Amino acid sequence: MKSFYQEEQGKATINGHKFEWKMKRTKGESAFGIKASRIFGLEIKKDGFITGVYDRGWSVRIRDDDADTKLCLDHILNTYGKEKKKVKKDAD
């Protein structure tokens, strides 16, 4: 049976902090996704500690003063959250 979502993991270093994440994302943008993106499940760890969990809603919210985790979330959303648009090539 084919799944309607993909599970993925990633890592990044931001301002000296090591981030790891696990996410679930759909093929297309979803009303259940973070900011209506493709990502509807996400766990972010900063230096081994959970700093954010989203499962069709925030169960562990990112702290307002945690700028590095917010940068990590922005990176994840910009890299994985948007549906890839197909570009039409003009016939020469």
Global pTM value: 0.82
From edge to edge, which strands make up the β-sheet containing 39-46? Answer: 5-14, 17-26, 39-46, 49-55, 58-60
Strands (DSSP E) found in 1-92: 5-14, 17-26, 39-46, 49-55, 58-60
- Which tokens is 90 given? 């003009």
Q: Which of 18, 1, 10 has its CA nearest to residue 39?
A: 10
Give pLDDT, residue 89: 60
Residue pLDDT, tens place only, 2-46 = 667 889 999 999 999 999 999 998 888 878 888 888 899 999 999
Mean of the per-residue pLDDT values of the chain: 87
pLDDT tens digits along 42-81: 999 999 999 999 998 999 999 999 999 999 999 999 998 8
